[in-house]
Protein backbone atom coordinates (compact mmCIF):
# COMPACT_ATOMS: atom_id res chain seq x y z
CA UNK A 1 0.00 0.00 0.00
CA UNK A 2 1.89 3.12 -1.23
CA UNK A 3 0.24 5.47 1.26
CA UNK A 4 1.45 3.36 4.18
CA UNK A 5 4.99 3.53 2.80
CA UNK A 6 5.00 7.33 3.11
CA UNK A 7 3.63 7.16 6.65
CA UNK A 8 6.15 4.51 7.69
CA UNK A 9 9.01 6.68 6.38
CA UNK A 10 7.88 9.69 8.43
CA UNK A 11 9.22 10.77 11.82
CA UNK A 12 6.92 10.98 14.88
CA UNK A 13 6.16 14.58 15.83
CA UNK A 14 5.94 15.88 19.38
CA UNK A 15 2.38 16.67 20.42
CA UNK A 16 -0.63 14.64 19.46
CA UNK A 17 -0.16 10.86 19.37
CA UNK A 18 -0.09 9.32 15.91
CA UNK A 19 1.16 12.45 14.11
CA UNK A 20 4.18 11.97 11.85
CA UNK A 21 6.27 14.39 9.78
CA UNK A 22 7.86 13.92 6.36
CA UNK A 23 9.95 16.36 4.31
CA UNK A 24 9.28 15.70 0.64
CA UNK A 25 11.05 16.60 -2.58
CA UNK A 26 9.19 18.71 -5.18
CA UNK A 27 8.51 15.65 -7.35
CA UNK A 28 7.02 13.78 -4.37
CA UNK A 29 4.61 16.49 -3.14
CA UNK A 30 1.72 15.52 -5.41
CA UNK A 31 2.64 11.84 -5.43
CA UNK A 32 2.20 11.64 -1.65
CA UNK A 33 -1.21 13.35 -1.96
CA UNK A 34 -2.28 11.00 -4.76
CA UNK A 35 -1.16 7.89 -2.88
CA UNK A 36 -2.90 8.98 0.31
CA UNK A 37 -6.10 9.80 -1.58
CA UNK A 38 -6.00 6.38 -3.26
CA UNK A 39 -5.68 4.78 0.17
CA UNK A 40 -8.69 6.67 1.55
CA UNK A 41 -6.70 9.41 3.25
CA UNK A 42 -8.27 12.80 3.98
CA UNK A 43 -6.73 16.24 3.63
CA UNK A 44 -6.75 17.84 7.07
CA UNK A 45 -5.02 21.18 6.44
CA UNK A 46 -2.78 23.06 4.02
CA UNK A 47 -0.77 26.15 4.92
CA UNK A 48 2.42 28.02 4.04
CA UNK A 49 5.37 29.72 5.69
CA UNK A 50 7.00 32.78 4.14
CA UNK A 51 9.90 33.15 6.56
CA UNK A 52 12.76 32.36 6.74
CA UNK A 53 12.10 30.84 3.30
CA UNK A 54 8.95 29.77 1.41
CA UNK A 55 7.64 26.45 2.67
CA UNK A 56 4.42 24.50 2.13
CA UNK A 57 2.80 22.14 4.61
CA UNK A 58 -0.07 19.71 4.13
CA UNK A 59 -1.57 17.52 6.85
CA UNK A 60 -3.40 14.30 5.96
CA UNK A 61 -5.50 11.92 8.05
CA UNK A 62 -5.23 8.18 7.58
CA UNK A 63 -7.37 5.78 9.60
CA UNK A 64 -4.42 5.09 11.91
CA UNK A 65 -2.14 8.13 11.64
CA UNK A 66 -1.82 11.78 10.69
CA UNK A 67 0.93 12.75 8.27
CA UNK A 68 2.31 16.28 7.93
CA UNK A 69 4.29 16.80 4.71
CA UNK A 70 6.66 19.74 4.30
CA UNK A 71 7.92 21.03 0.95
CA UNK A 72 10.83 23.50 1.00
CA UNK A 73 10.75 25.94 -1.90
CA UNK A 74 13.48 27.97 -3.53
CA UNK A 75 13.47 31.57 -2.22
CA UNK A 76 13.24 32.90 -5.76
CA UNK A 77 10.29 30.68 -6.72
CA UNK A 78 7.47 30.84 -4.18
CA UNK A 79 5.17 28.54 -6.16
CA UNK A 80 4.27 24.89 -5.77
CA UNK A 81 2.08 22.25 -7.45
CA UNK A 82 -1.51 22.66 -6.31
CA UNK A 83 -3.54 19.84 -4.76
CA UNK A 84 -7.11 20.99 -5.43
CA UNK A 85 -7.63 18.52 -8.28
CA UNK A 86 -6.87 15.72 -5.79
CA UNK A 87 -8.54 17.23 -2.74
CA UNK A 88 -11.18 19.85 -3.69
CA UNK A 89 -11.07 21.35 -0.17
CA UNK A 90 -7.48 22.43 -0.85
CA UNK A 91 -8.61 25.23 -3.19
CA UNK A 92 -9.61 27.78 -0.57
CA UNK A 93 -6.70 26.82 1.69
CA UNK A 94 -4.33 27.51 -1.22
CA UNK A 95 -5.97 30.86 -1.89
CA UNK A 96 -5.75 31.85 1.79
CA UNK A 97 -2.10 30.80 1.95
CA UNK A 98 -1.35 32.97 -1.08
CA UNK A 99 -3.08 35.98 0.51
CA UNK A 100 -1.08 35.86 3.75
CA UNK A 101 2.29 34.46 2.63
CA UNK A 102 2.62 35.20 -1.09
CA UNK A 103 3.22 31.49 -1.76
CA UNK A 104 1.02 30.49 -4.73
CA UNK A 105 -0.24 27.20 -6.11
CA UNK A 106 0.41 26.74 -9.81
CA UNK A 107 -2.51 26.16 -12.20
CA UNK A 108 -5.01 27.03 -9.47
CA UNK A 109 -7.75 29.54 -8.63
CA UNK A 110 -5.98 32.89 -8.19
CA UNK A 111 -8.90 34.87 -6.74
CA UNK A 112 -8.14 36.39 -3.31
CA UNK A 113 -9.85 34.73 -0.37
CA UNK A 114 -8.98 36.72 2.75
CA UNK A 115 -7.71 40.08 1.52
CA UNK A 116 -10.97 41.80 0.50
CA UNK A 117 -8.88 44.94 -0.25
CA UNK A 118 -8.33 45.22 3.52
CA UNK A 119 -4.63 45.66 2.87
CA UNK A 120 -2.59 46.68 -0.16
CA UNK A 121 -1.98 43.96 -2.72
CA UNK A 122 1.80 44.31 -2.31
CA UNK A 123 1.62 43.76 1.47
CA UNK A 124 2.08 40.13 2.58
CA UNK A 125 1.01 39.84 6.26
CA UNK A 126 3.20 36.86 7.20
CA UNK A 127 6.16 37.93 5.08
CA UNK A 128 6.36 41.71 5.58
CA UNK A 129 6.87 43.36 8.98
CA UNK A 130 3.78 45.27 10.19
CA UNK A 131 5.56 48.61 9.77
CA UNK A 132 5.73 48.05 6.02
CA UNK A 133 1.96 48.00 5.61
CA UNK A 134 0.53 50.79 3.52
CA UNK A 135 -3.02 52.07 3.63
CA UNK A 136 -5.07 50.17 1.04
CA UNK A 137 -6.78 51.92 -1.80
CA UNK A 138 -10.53 51.76 -1.31
CA UNK A 139 -11.65 50.52 -4.71
CA UNK A 140 -14.75 48.69 -5.84
CA UNK A 141 -14.47 44.96 -5.36
CA UNK A 142 -14.88 43.22 -8.71
CA UNK A 143 -14.80 39.68 -7.37
CA UNK A 144 -15.46 37.36 -10.35
CA UNK A 145 -18.24 35.02 -9.28
CA UNK A 146 -18.89 31.99 -11.47
CA UNK A 147 -22.00 32.78 -13.52
CA UNK A 148 -24.78 30.42 -14.56
CA UNK A 149 -26.65 31.35 -17.74
CA UNK A 150 -29.77 30.04 -19.42
CA UNK A 151 -33.48 30.70 -19.80
CA UNK A 152 -35.12 31.70 -16.54
CA UNK A 153 -31.89 31.73 -14.52
CA UNK A 154 -31.39 34.66 -12.19
CA UNK A 155 -29.16 35.46 -9.23
CA UNK A 156 -30.04 36.19 -5.61
CA UNK A 157 -27.20 37.83 -3.66
CA UNK A 158 -27.43 37.40 0.11
CA UNK A 159 -25.11 39.14 2.58
CA UNK A 160 -22.43 39.71 3.62
CA UNK A 161 -24.47 41.67 6.18
CA UNK A 162 -27.40 39.58 7.39
CA UNK A 163 -30.65 40.32 9.19
CA UNK A 164 -29.43 38.95 12.50
CA UNK A 165 -26.53 38.87 14.92
CA UNK A 166 -24.39 36.51 12.89
CA UNK A 167 -21.02 36.82 11.25
CA UNK A 168 -20.74 38.10 7.67
CA UNK A 169 -20.67 35.92 4.60
CA UNK A 170 -21.85 36.43 1.02
CA UNK A 171 -23.95 33.75 -0.69
CA UNK A 172 -24.65 34.05 -4.43
CA UNK A 173 -27.56 31.83 -5.49
CA UNK A 174 -28.26 30.99 -9.14
CA UNK A 175 -31.90 29.87 -9.31
CA UNK A 176 -34.76 28.99 -11.58
CA UNK A 177 -37.91 29.90 -9.76
CA UNK A 178 -37.04 28.95 -6.19
CA UNK A 179 -34.93 25.90 -7.05
CA UNK A 180 -31.19 26.40 -6.54
CA UNK A 181 -28.96 25.48 -9.49
CA UNK A 182 -25.74 26.73 -7.94
CA UNK A 183 -24.48 28.43 -4.80
CA UNK A 184 -21.14 30.20 -4.54
CA UNK A 185 -19.90 31.42 -1.19
CA UNK A 186 -17.55 34.27 -0.54
CA UNK A 187 -16.17 34.36 2.97
CA UNK A 188 -13.09 35.89 4.58
CA UNK A 189 -14.89 38.97 5.90
CA UNK A 190 -13.96 38.26 9.52
CA UNK A 191 -10.26 37.75 8.89
CA UNK A 192 -8.67 38.83 12.17
CA UNK A 193 -4.97 38.39 11.51
CA UNK A 194 -4.67 35.66 14.14
CA UNK A 195 -1.63 34.00 12.56
CA UNK A 196 0.23 37.31 12.49
CA UNK A 197 -0.79 37.97 16.10
CA UNK A 198 0.53 34.56 17.17
CA UNK A 199 3.96 35.46 15.78
CA UNK A 200 4.23 38.38 18.22
CA UNK A 201 3.43 36.30 21.31
CA UNK A 202 5.27 34.21 23.87
CA UNK A 203 4.72 30.46 23.89
CA UNK A 204 3.25 30.71 27.39
CA UNK A 205 0.54 33.12 26.16
CA UNK A 206 -0.55 31.44 22.94
CA UNK A 207 -3.20 29.19 24.49
CA UNK A 208 -5.35 32.22 25.29
CA UNK A 209 -5.40 33.37 21.67
CA UNK A 210 -5.93 29.79 20.47
CA UNK A 211 -9.04 29.54 22.64
CA UNK A 212 -10.43 32.62 20.89
CA UNK A 213 -9.91 31.51 17.29
CA UNK A 214 -13.53 30.30 17.27
CA UNK A 215 -15.20 30.91 20.61
CA UNK A 216 -17.60 27.97 20.47
CA UNK A 217 -14.57 25.63 20.19
CA UNK A 218 -12.42 27.23 22.88
CA UNK A 219 -11.53 23.99 24.66
CA UNK A 220 -10.65 22.16 21.45
CA UNK A 221 -8.33 24.91 20.21
CA UNK A 222 -6.69 25.55 23.56
CA UNK A 223 -6.12 21.83 24.10
CA UNK A 224 -4.65 21.40 20.60
CA UNK A 225 -2.30 24.34 21.18
CA UNK A 226 -1.22 23.06 24.59
CA UNK A 227 -0.83 19.54 23.20
CA UNK A 228 1.63 20.85 20.60
CA UNK A 229 3.47 22.98 23.16
CA UNK A 230 3.68 20.18 25.71
CA UNK A 231 5.06 17.86 23.05
CA UNK A 232 7.68 20.43 22.05
CA UNK A 233 8.78 20.97 25.65
CA UNK A 234 8.55 17.31 26.67
CA UNK A 235 6.08 18.11 29.43
CA UNK A 236 4.23 15.28 31.13
CA UNK A 237 0.70 16.46 31.87
CA UNK A 238 -0.79 15.05 35.10
CA UNK A 239 -3.41 12.36 34.56
CA UNK A 240 -6.04 14.32 36.48
CA UNK A 241 -5.53 17.33 34.20
CA UNK A 242 -6.00 15.20 31.06
CA UNK A 243 -9.26 13.78 32.38
CA UNK A 244 -10.47 17.27 33.32
CA UNK A 245 -9.64 18.47 29.80
CA UNK A 246 -11.81 15.68 28.42
CA UNK A 247 -14.58 16.71 30.81
CA UNK A 248 -14.36 20.28 29.52
CA UNK A 249 -14.28 19.15 25.88
CA UNK A 250 -17.42 17.03 26.31
CA UNK A 251 -19.05 19.92 28.16
CA UNK A 252 -18.32 22.16 25.18
CA UNK A 253 -19.83 19.54 22.86
CA UNK A 254 -22.98 19.31 25.02
CA UNK A 255 -23.49 23.09 25.04
CA UNK A 256 -23.13 23.41 21.27
CA UNK A 257 -25.38 20.47 20.45
CA UNK A 258 -28.08 21.81 22.76
CA UNK A 259 -27.91 25.22 21.10
CA UNK A 260 -28.00 23.77 17.58
CA UNK A 261 -30.89 21.39 18.26
CA UNK A 262 -32.97 24.30 19.48
CA UNK A 263 -32.04 26.51 16.54
CA UNK A 264 -32.82 23.73 14.05
CA UNK A 265 -36.25 23.26 15.57
CA UNK A 266 -36.83 26.99 15.28
CA UNK A 267 -35.72 27.05 11.63
CA UNK A 268 -38.24 24.31 10.96
CA UNK A 269 -40.98 26.51 12.42
CA UNK A 270 -41.07 24.69 15.77
CA UNK A 271 -40.38 27.38 18.37
CA UNK A 272 -41.11 24.93 21.19
CA UNK A 273 -37.84 23.18 20.42
CA UNK A 274 -35.88 26.45 20.61
CA UNK A 275 -37.45 27.33 23.97
CA UNK A 276 -36.75 23.93 25.51
CA UNK A 277 -33.20 23.52 24.26
CA UNK A 278 -32.35 27.12 25.17
CA UNK A 279 -33.51 26.35 28.70
CA UNK A 280 -31.40 23.18 28.81
CA UNK A 281 -28.33 24.96 27.44
CA UNK A 282 -28.61 27.69 30.05
CA UNK A 283 -28.98 25.07 32.79
CA UNK A 284 -25.87 23.29 31.53
CA UNK A 285 -23.79 26.48 31.22
CA UNK A 286 -24.62 27.47 34.79
CA UNK A 287 -23.56 24.06 36.10
CA UNK A 288 -20.38 24.22 34.02
CA UNK A 289 -19.64 27.67 35.39
CA UNK A 290 -20.05 26.44 38.96
CA UNK A 291 -17.80 23.42 38.39
CA UNK A 292 -15.10 24.71 36.05
CA UNK A 293 -15.18 28.48 36.56
CA UNK A 294 -16.58 29.74 33.24
CA UNK A 295 -19.74 29.33 31.21
CA UNK A 296 -17.71 29.18 28.00
CA UNK A 297 -14.34 27.69 28.87
CA UNK A 298 -12.04 30.20 27.19
CA UNK A 299 -9.34 30.03 29.86
CA UNK A 300 -9.75 26.57 31.37
CA UNK A 301 -7.08 24.66 29.44
CA UNK A 302 -3.59 26.01 30.15
CA UNK A 303 -0.06 24.79 29.33
CA UNK A 304 0.66 21.81 31.55
CA UNK A 305 -2.93 21.15 32.60
CA UNK A 306 -6.02 23.12 33.61
CA UNK A 307 -6.50 26.24 35.70
CA UNK A 308 -9.13 24.95 38.14
CA UNK A 309 -9.59 21.73 40.09
CA UNK A 310 -13.32 21.31 40.74
CA UNK A 311 -14.52 20.12 44.10
CA UNK A 312 -16.20 16.76 44.54
CA UNK A 313 -19.49 18.52 45.28
CA UNK A 314 -19.29 20.64 42.14
CA UNK A 315 -18.65 17.52 40.06
CA UNK A 316 -21.59 15.76 41.69
CA UNK A 317 -23.88 18.64 40.75
CA UNK A 318 -22.49 18.64 37.20
CA UNK A 319 -23.31 14.95 36.81
CA UNK A 320 -26.82 15.52 38.15
CA UNK A 321 -27.26 18.29 35.61
CA UNK A 322 -26.02 15.99 32.84
CA UNK A 323 -28.63 13.39 33.86
CA UNK A 324 -31.36 16.04 33.74
CA UNK A 325 -30.23 17.36 30.37
CA UNK A 326 -30.01 13.87 28.90
CA UNK A 327 -33.41 12.66 30.07
CA UNK A 328 -35.14 15.86 28.92
CA UNK A 329 -33.37 15.80 25.55
CA UNK A 330 -34.57 12.22 25.01
CA UNK A 331 -38.18 13.35 25.48
CA UNK A 332 -37.77 16.28 23.08
CA UNK A 333 -36.14 13.96 20.56
CA UNK A 334 -39.25 11.80 20.49
CA UNK A 335 -41.31 14.93 19.80
CA UNK A 336 -39.00 15.93 16.94
CA UNK A 337 -39.20 12.41 15.50
CA UNK A 338 -42.99 12.30 15.65
CA UNK A 339 -43.83 15.88 14.63
CA UNK A 340 -45.04 15.79 11.02
CA UNK A 341 -44.11 19.41 10.28
CA UNK A 342 -40.59 19.03 11.64
CA UNK A 343 -40.02 15.76 9.79
CA UNK A 344 -41.26 17.32 6.56
CA UNK A 345 -38.64 20.05 6.82
CA UNK A 346 -35.77 17.79 7.98
CA UNK A 347 -36.05 14.65 5.87
CA UNK A 348 -34.41 14.90 2.45
CA UNK A 349 -33.31 18.52 2.84
CA UNK A 350 -29.70 19.34 2.03
CA UNK A 351 -28.67 15.75 1.39
CA UNK A 352 -25.00 14.90 0.82
CA UNK A 353 -24.60 11.30 -0.32
CA UNK A 354 -21.70 9.32 1.24
CA UNK A 355 -19.80 9.08 -2.05
CA UNK A 356 -20.00 12.84 -2.61
CA UNK A 357 -19.02 13.44 1.02
CA UNK A 358 -15.94 11.25 0.51
CA UNK A 359 -14.95 13.01 -2.73
CA UNK A 360 -15.32 16.49 -1.23
CA UNK A 361 -13.66 15.63 2.10
CA UNK A 362 -16.64 16.25 4.38
CA UNK A 363 -15.40 15.79 7.93
CA UNK A 364 -16.47 15.80 11.56
CA UNK A 365 -20.10 15.79 12.66
CA UNK A 366 -21.44 16.56 9.18
CA UNK A 367 -19.23 13.86 7.68
CA UNK A 368 -20.47 11.25 10.15
CA UNK A 369 -24.04 12.08 9.09
CA UNK A 370 -22.99 11.20 5.52
CA UNK A 371 -21.33 7.88 6.28
CA UNK A 372 -17.79 9.15 6.88
CA UNK A 373 -16.68 6.89 9.72
CA UNK A 374 -13.99 8.96 11.43
CA UNK A 375 -13.73 10.43 14.93
CA UNK A 376 -10.36 11.30 16.47
CA UNK A 377 -11.62 10.26 19.92
CA UNK A 378 -11.83 6.71 18.57
CA UNK A 379 -9.43 6.51 15.62
CA UNK A 380 -6.48 8.55 16.94
CA UNK A 381 -7.32 9.00 20.61
CA UNK A 382 -5.30 11.20 22.93
CA UNK A 383 -5.41 10.49 26.65
CA UNK A 384 -7.77 9.76 28.27
CA UNK A 385 -10.02 8.84 25.32
CA UNK A 386 -8.24 5.54 24.77
CA UNK A 387 -9.72 4.43 28.10
CA UNK A 388 -13.24 5.74 27.56
CA UNK A 389 -14.44 3.54 24.65
CA UNK A 390 -16.22 6.43 22.92
CA UNK A 391 -19.03 5.32 20.63
CA UNK A 392 -19.28 6.95 17.19
CA UNK A 393 -22.56 8.46 16.03
CA UNK A 394 -23.09 7.53 12.37
CA UNK A 395 -25.79 7.99 9.75
CA UNK A 396 -25.69 7.53 5.98
CA UNK A 397 -28.66 9.58 4.72
CA UNK A 398 -26.67 12.84 4.78
CA UNK A 399 -29.69 15.16 5.07
CA UNK A 400 -30.75 17.64 7.75
CA UNK A 401 -32.53 14.81 9.60
CA UNK A 402 -29.30 12.79 9.68
CA UNK A 403 -27.28 15.72 11.01
CA UNK A 404 -29.91 16.28 13.69
CA UNK A 405 -29.82 12.56 14.60
CA UNK A 406 -26.02 12.64 14.92
CA UNK A 407 -26.30 15.61 17.25
CA UNK A 408 -28.80 13.79 19.46
CA UNK A 409 -26.63 10.66 19.52
CA UNK A 410 -23.47 12.62 20.29
CA UNK A 411 -25.27 14.58 23.00
CA UNK A 412 -26.25 11.32 24.70
CA UNK A 413 -22.71 9.94 24.33
CA UNK A 414 -21.12 13.10 25.73
CA UNK A 415 -23.42 12.91 28.75
CA UNK A 416 -22.33 9.30 29.26
CA UNK A 417 -18.69 10.39 28.96
CA UNK A 418 -19.16 13.16 31.52
CA UNK A 419 -20.50 10.62 34.00
CA UNK A 420 -17.69 8.16 33.22
CA UNK A 421 -14.98 10.82 33.53
CA UNK A 422 -16.22 12.05 36.89
CA UNK A 423 -16.58 8.49 38.19
CA UNK A 424 -13.01 7.57 37.17
CA UNK A 425 -11.28 10.92 37.71
CA UNK A 426 -7.80 10.20 39.10
CA UNK A 427 -6.38 12.04 42.07
CA UNK A 428 -3.31 14.24 41.92
CA UNK A 429 -2.14 17.56 40.55
CA UNK A 430 -4.01 19.36 37.78
CA UNK A 431 -1.11 21.32 36.27
CA UNK A 432 2.62 20.83 35.63
CA UNK A 433 5.43 23.30 35.03
CA UNK A 434 6.84 23.74 31.52
CA UNK A 435 10.30 24.62 30.31
CA UNK A 436 9.34 27.36 27.86
CA UNK A 437 12.75 27.89 26.27
CA UNK A 438 13.03 25.05 23.74
CA UNK A 439 15.20 25.08 20.67
CA UNK A 440 13.32 25.85 17.44
CA UNK A 441 11.12 22.82 16.90
CA UNK A 442 7.81 21.93 15.26
CA UNK A 443 4.88 20.20 16.94
CA UNK A 444 1.22 19.47 16.20
CA UNK A 445 -1.85 19.23 18.39
CA UNK A 446 -4.94 17.40 17.17
CA UNK A 447 -8.27 17.26 19.03
CA UNK A 448 -11.79 16.22 18.00
CA UNK A 449 -13.82 19.37 18.58
CA UNK A 450 -17.59 19.35 18.37
CA UNK A 451 -17.52 20.23 14.64
CA UNK A 452 -14.66 17.89 13.82
CA UNK A 453 -10.85 17.72 13.97
CA UNK A 454 -9.16 20.88 15.24
CA UNK A 455 -5.45 21.13 14.48
CA UNK A 456 -2.77 23.52 15.71
CA UNK A 457 0.69 23.43 14.10
CA UNK A 458 3.21 25.24 16.29
CA UNK A 459 6.84 26.20 15.64
CA UNK A 460 8.69 27.46 18.70
CA UNK A 461 11.44 30.05 18.54
CA UNK A 462 14.70 29.80 20.45
CA UNK A 463 13.76 32.55 22.91
CA UNK A 464 10.42 31.26 24.19
CA UNK A 465 8.42 32.98 21.46
CA UNK A 466 6.11 31.64 18.78
CA UNK A 467 7.82 31.59 15.41
CA UNK A 468 4.74 30.31 13.59
CA UNK A 469 1.35 29.00 14.65
CA UNK A 470 -1.31 27.79 12.24
CA UNK A 471 -4.73 26.82 13.65
CA UNK A 472 -7.11 24.87 11.42
CA UNK A 473 -10.88 24.49 11.72
CA UNK A 474 -12.90 21.67 10.07
CA UNK A 475 -15.09 24.37 8.53
CA UNK A 476 -12.43 24.78 5.82
CA UNK A 477 -13.40 21.36 4.48
CA UNK A 478 -17.12 21.67 5.08
CA UNK A 479 -18.07 25.12 3.76
CA UNK A 480 -17.57 24.04 0.12
CA UNK A 481 -19.79 20.99 0.69
CA UNK A 482 -22.64 23.27 1.74
CA UNK A 483 -22.62 24.65 -1.82
CA UNK A 484 -23.44 21.14 -3.07
CA UNK A 485 -25.94 20.34 -0.29
CA UNK A 486 -28.27 23.15 -1.38
CA UNK A 487 -28.42 22.17 -5.08
CA UNK A 488 -31.94 21.13 -6.06
CA UNK A 489 -33.45 22.52 -2.85
CA UNK A 490 -35.49 25.69 -2.66
CA UNK A 491 -34.03 28.98 -1.50
CA UNK A 492 -36.17 29.20 1.68
CA UNK A 493 -34.62 25.94 2.90
CA UNK A 494 -31.11 27.40 2.86
CA UNK A 495 -31.19 28.79 6.45
CA UNK A 496 -32.21 25.36 7.75
CA UNK A 497 -29.60 23.49 5.70
CA UNK A 498 -26.92 26.03 6.61
CA UNK A 499 -27.78 25.70 10.31
CA UNK A 500 -27.61 21.91 10.12
CA UNK A 501 -23.91 22.29 9.25
CA UNK A 502 -23.41 25.32 11.56
CA UNK A 503 -19.91 26.05 10.32
CA UNK A 504 -17.55 28.60 11.81
CA UNK A 505 -16.86 31.88 10.03
CA UNK A 506 -14.17 32.88 12.55
CA UNK A 507 -12.29 29.60 12.56
CA UNK A 508 -12.44 29.52 8.78
CA UNK A 509 -11.23 33.07 8.24
CA UNK A 510 -8.53 33.25 10.93
Sign for the CA dihedral angle at 176, 177, 181, 184 comes to positive
Residue-wise pLDDT for 193-225, tens only, equals 999 999 989 999 999 999 999 999 999 999 999
**pLDDT in the model for residue 441:** 87
- Main-chain dihedrals φ then ψ at residue 428, nearest 5 degrees: 120, -170
DSSP 421-487: HHHHPPPS-SB------PPSEEEEEEEE-SSSEEEEEEEE-TTSBEEEEEEE-THHHHHHHHHHHTT
CB 246 within 8 A of CB 325: no
CB 362 within 8 A of CB 477: yes
The CA distance from 365 to 394, in Å, is: 9
**pLDDT in the model for residue 93:** 97
CB 354 within 8 A of CB 392: no
The CA distance from 126 to 137, in Å, is: 20
CB 16 within 8 A of CB 9: no
Close Cβ partners of 442 (under 8 Å, ≥ 6 residues apart): 13, 21, 232, 457, 458, 459, 460
Domain locations in the chain as residue ranges:
2-109, 214-474
Taking 70 as the pLDDT cut, the residues of the chain under it are 1-3, 129-141, 437-440
**pLDDT in the model for residue 141:** 67
CB 370 within 8 A of CB 362: yes
Task: State the burial class of residue 282 (Cβ atoms within 10 Å of its Cβ: 0-12, 13-18, 19+).
Answer: middle
DSSP 160-181: SS-SSSS---EEEEEEETTEEE
CB 260 within 8 A of CB 407: yes
The pTM of the full predicted model, rounded to 2 decimals, is 0.96
The CA distance from 318 to 423, in Å, is: 12
Residue-wise pLDDT for 374-384, tens only, equals 999 999 999 99
Q: Which fold has domain 2-109?
A: Beta Polymerase; domain 2 (3.30.460)
Strand order across the beta sheet in which 179-186 lies: 153-158, 170-176, 179-186
Q: Which 8-state DSSP code applies to residue 490?
A: B
CB 400 within 8 A of CB 350: yes
Three-state secondary structure readout of 396-420: CCCCHHHHHHHHHHHHHHHHHHHHH
CATH node for 214-474 = 1.10.645.10
- Main-chain dihedrals φ then ψ at residue 421, nearest 5 degrees: -65, -45
The CA distance from 487 to 484, in Å, is: 5
Share of the chain above pLDDT 90, in %: 83
The CA-CA-CA angle for residues 470, 472, 473, to 5°, reads: 155
- Main-chain dihedrals φ then ψ at residue 45, nearest 5 degrees: -160, 160
**pLDDT in the model for residue 129:** 66
Close Cβ partners of 329 (under 8 Å, ≥ 6 residues apart): 258, 261, 277, 280, 408, 411, 412
**pLDDT in the model for residue 130:** 62
Q: Count other Cβ atoms within 10 Å, centred on residue 86.
A: 15
Amino acid sequence: MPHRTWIDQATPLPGSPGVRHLRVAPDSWRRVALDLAAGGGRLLALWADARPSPTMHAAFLDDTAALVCTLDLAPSEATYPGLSDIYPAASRMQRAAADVTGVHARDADTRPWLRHAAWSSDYIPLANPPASRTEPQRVADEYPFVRVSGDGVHEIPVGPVHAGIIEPGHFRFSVVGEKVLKLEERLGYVHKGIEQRFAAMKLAEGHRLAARVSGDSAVAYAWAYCQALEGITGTGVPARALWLRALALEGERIANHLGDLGALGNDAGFAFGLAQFSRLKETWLRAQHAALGQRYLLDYVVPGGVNRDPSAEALRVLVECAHLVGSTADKIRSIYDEHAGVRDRFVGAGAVAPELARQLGLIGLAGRASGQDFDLRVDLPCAPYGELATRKALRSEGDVAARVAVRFDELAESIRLVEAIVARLPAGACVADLDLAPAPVFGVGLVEGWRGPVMVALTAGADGTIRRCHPHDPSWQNWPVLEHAIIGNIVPDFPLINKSFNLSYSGHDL
